[in-house]
Amino acid sequence: MGFSDTLKELLDQGLQVSREMAAKAGEKAQEWGGKGIEASKDFAAKAGAKVQELGEKGVLALEIKQLEGQAKKLLGRLGVEVYRVFEKGASAINFDDPEIGAMLKEIGLVKEAIEQRERELKNK
């Protein structure tokens, strides 16, 4: 075997080793890329869940504020009605009065709704 044959054989071996290394590098790159994609998908899913949770909390907090506003209006109306009763000369308030009884019932329902939303918010 001559020098040129030996050189050709060494070059062929080098080429074969280079091909094997390139194939292994390609496999590793695909493996790492696959892991990166999976990690990105996992992150996106977790981020999406967190955004949804925060959105739900925001909705509950908004509902609580709206119900509190409704309760304040009802209490104001109740105060006006109590004033009217006393203005007419009454010395006491009768809770059997349909107007006052209805407002008290409505205030109680709003209070229950607020408490329910607060429990839901606490449990999120």
User: 89-105 pLDDT, tens per residue?
Assistant: 888 888 888 888 999 99
Whole-structure pTM value: 0.61
| Highest-pLDDT range among 3-12, 36-45, 101-110 | 101-110
DSSP characters for the chain? Answer: --HHHHHHHHHHHHHHHHHHHHHHHHHHHHHHHHHHHHHHHHHHHHHHHHHHHHHHHHHHHHHHHHHHHHHHHHHHHHHHHHHHHHHTT-SS--TTSHHHHHHHHHHHHHHHHHHHHHHHHHT-
User: 39-67 pLDDT, tens per residue?
Assistant: 677 777 777 777 777 788 889 899 999 99
CA distance linking residue 54 with residue 39, whole number of Å: 22
pLDDT of residue 85: 86
Looking at the chain, the whole-number percentage of residues with pLDDT higher than 90 is 31
Domain count, the chain: 1
The mean per-residue pLDDT over the stretch 117-124 comes to 88
Domain that holds residue 69: 3-122
